[in-house]
Amino acid sequence: MHGPTTCTLRLLLLAILCYLAATPLEAQWTKAVGFDENDMALDLAEALSFQKYPTYYQYQEMMEGFALAYPDICRLDTIGSTVQGRYLLALKISDQMDEDEDEADFLYTSSMHGNEIVGYVLLLRLADTLLSGYGHDAEITELVDNLQIWINPLANPDGSFSNDNNLSLELAQRHNIHGIDLNRNFPAITRGEADDTTGRELETRNMMLFHRDQEIVLSANIHSGTEVVNYPWDDRSSLHADDDWYRFISREYADEAMAVDPDYMWGWPDDGITNGWAWYEAIGTRQDYVNNYLGGREVTLELSDEYLLPSAELEQHWNINQRSLLNYMSQCLYGIRGKITDLESSNPLQARIHVENHDSAYSVVYSSATHGDYYRLIKEGVYKLVASAPGYYNDTILNVEVTDYQATFLDVQLKAWPNKVPEQEAFDFRIYPNPAVHTFMVEPANIPYGELELSVHSLDGRMIFKKTVPYHGGIIEFSTKQMRSGIYLLRCSNGKLSRIQRLMVINP
């Protein structure tokens, strides 16, 4: 869970915190009412009924069992290990098991808060549903054929099995074994942090690297404590560039669940969905990290009011969510997609796909270096796309039409510059939008990673401000707050090379 919804609840929480502060620390994590050893499965067969919670050993056996039973479409992988040496197990489900295909990667993960366990069983059951439905159910077959699906039911097993005997979730705790809340442990733009694993918890580091290496297009992070779909941002009041799309897919999830049970996700001002910040501020969450740094899309699914949901309620929670879980995966098949290649050689290109008059610095996506494939999930509309890659002419594609629940296929071939341009001349940067209103982006090209100094000067040479930023290939966003309407010179320098461009600011 993330927090309370209203001021009244905030006061209530304060009262609870005061109570907890006066209570011995261990008492915070003692047995939840209504959850005991009888909620744990007695054996593997009972665990496979999805009516009880698997022990850690049964969980391992189930994950291995899926891969053994469906070797053509399932492989057991790991995102890495935990502080106590358990594994962050992940099933990969796809039709071509041994290849990294030119398909979008999708990820479900649950229980990074170790005592929020409903998703643990829901995701095991979802894996079983996908595997047993492949070849029989048209919708499931389409998902498995066209996506690379990753399922990680337990993202903080040390916290979930903190009793240390691997047999019961009764003493499951929110934090990892170092007492760290993993959903506050990711790099945050609002803390001014780079996309850097240094100093983070092992579980966080492994999840960051996995997300980056697999180039996950769409994901969801399952929690408990309330019932709501929470979409970005958690750490700022401004809206995501794709806020309309986020509300659309969140709405779809909640509506479908509430159609099964009208009491589920009930009581939220926006009927089962919420903007993270509008609920309450949280810094260092995974959904913000994925959206900020990786060009990915992720929501946080809060799927049960109770942390340690009694096993008797698992069936009902599955019935409510199974349709929505599949719908959410299908969204990964829609939007604009295609391949970016070199016009001459047809080799794949890692290119940047920018949606003009729509994207912010954080919402642009890139095609993969291996296949040149890209996936731009976006709400229905007509868009203008610009594809760009270092050493190539930009290509602008007008009137790209997108319809909800459909894919728009768009392949782009980029033409290389005629001659290899020496580095001194090639170093460049782009400013957009230009003229700028409120904010503008600086996108450097052909410059080694490191520190960049950006300074804004008036036309008579007066420096307005200067900023030194770490550059790792991304885009740098500036506010025009300190600037009056007018024309400025923006100087971009890495100490060896520098370039100047004109920038026009319109401050309404």
| Smallest separation (angstroms) from Zn ion to the CB of 286 | 10
Q: Nearer Cβ to Zn ion, position 1 or 410? A: 1
Q: Nearer Cβ to Zn ion, position 113 or 376? A: 113
DSSP 340-407: EEETTT--B---EEEETTT--TTT-EE--TTT-EEEE---SEEEEEEEE-TTB--EEEEEEEE-TT-E
| Smallest separation (angstroms) from Zn ion to the CB of 186 | 14
CA atoms lying within 13 Å on the CB side of residue 24: 3
302 given a catalytic annotation: yes
Instruction: Give, as ranges, the residues between 54 and 93 that touch Zn ion (CB under 5 A).
Output: none
Q: Nearer Cβ to Zn ion, position 113 or 354? A: 113
Q: Judged by CB under 5 A, does residue 286 bind Zn ion?
A: no
Q: Of all helices (H) and strands (E), which one includes residue 409?
A: strand 407-409
Instruction: Give, as ranges, the residues between 137 and 196 that touch Zn ion (CB under 5 A).
Output: none
Q: Nearer Cβ to Zn ion, position 223 or 297? A: 223
Output the CA angle 228-232-235, nearest 5 degrees.
110
Q: Nearer Cβ to Zn ion, position 154 or 333? A: 154
| Smallest separation (angstroms) from Zn ion to the CB of 115 | 9
Q: Nearer Cβ to Zn ion, position 109 or 331? A: 109
| Smallest separation (angstroms) from Zn ion to the CB of 224 | 7
SS3 114: coil
Q: Judged by CB under 5 A, does residue 113 bind Zn ion?
A: yes
Instruction: Give, as ranges, the residues between 203 and 242 that touch Zn ion (CB under 5 A).
Output: 223
Interface segment toward Zn ion; rule CB under 5 A; list 21-29, 30-38, 112-120, 335-343: 112-120
**What is the C-alpha to C-alpha distance for residues 490 and 456, in angstroms, rounded to an integer?**
5
| Smallest separation (angstroms) from Zn ion to the CB of 56 | 20
Q: Nearer Cβ to Zn ion, position 175 or 339? A: 175
**Paired tokens of 463:** 């420096």
Looking at the DSSP bridge assignments, the partners of residue 53 are 40
Count other Cβ atoms within 10 Å, centred on residue 371: 15
Count other Cβ atoms within 10 Å, centred on residue 506: 14
Interface segment toward Zn ion; rule CB under 5 A; list 99-107, 113-121, 154-162, 227-235: 113-121
Of the residues 302, 315, 443, 477, only one is catalytic, namely 302
Q: How many helices (H) and strands (E) does the chain have?
A: 12, 23
In Å, what is the CA distance from 184 to each residue of 18, 200, 204, 284, 292?
Answer: 22, 10, 10, 4, 14
| Smallest separation (angstroms) from Zn ion to the CB of 373 | 33
Distance of CA 81 to the CA centre of its chain: 20
Output the CA angle 264-269-275, nearest 5 degrees.
95
| Smallest separation (angstroms) from Zn ion to the CB of 288 | 14
DSSP 427-473: -EEEEEEEEEESEEEEEEES--SEEEEEEEEETTS-EEEEEEEEESS
* Residue whose Cβ sits closest to Zn ion: 223
Strands (DSSP E) contained in 241-334 are 273-275, 297-304
Q: Nearer Cβ to Zn ion, position 52 or 113? A: 113
End-to-end CA distance of the chain: 40
By CB under 5 A, how many residues form the interface with Zn ion? Answer: 4
**The residue type at 176:** N
Instruction: Give, as ranges, the residues between 26 and 55 that touch Zn ion (CB under 5 A).
Output: none
Distance of CA 406 to the CA centre of its chain: 22
**Which 8-state DSSP code applies to residue 40?**
B
x/- map, 115-134, Zn ion, by CB under 5 A: -x------------------
Interface segment toward Zn ion; rule CB under 5 A; list 105-113, 272-280, 309-317, 405-413: 105-113
| Smallest separation (angstroms) from Zn ion to the CB of 225 | 6
| Smallest separation (angstroms) from Zn ion to the CB of 8 | 21
From 199, 196, 201, select the one nearest 182 (Cα to Cα).
Answer: 201
Interface segment toward Zn ion; rule CB under 5 A; list 1-9, 35-43, 103-111, 320-328: 1-9
Q: Nearer Cβ to Zn ion, position 58 or 219? A: 219
CA atoms lying within 13 Å on the CB side of residue 259: 10
Catalytic residue numbers, as ranges: 302
Give residues in contact with Zn ion (CB under 5 A): 1, 113, 116, 223
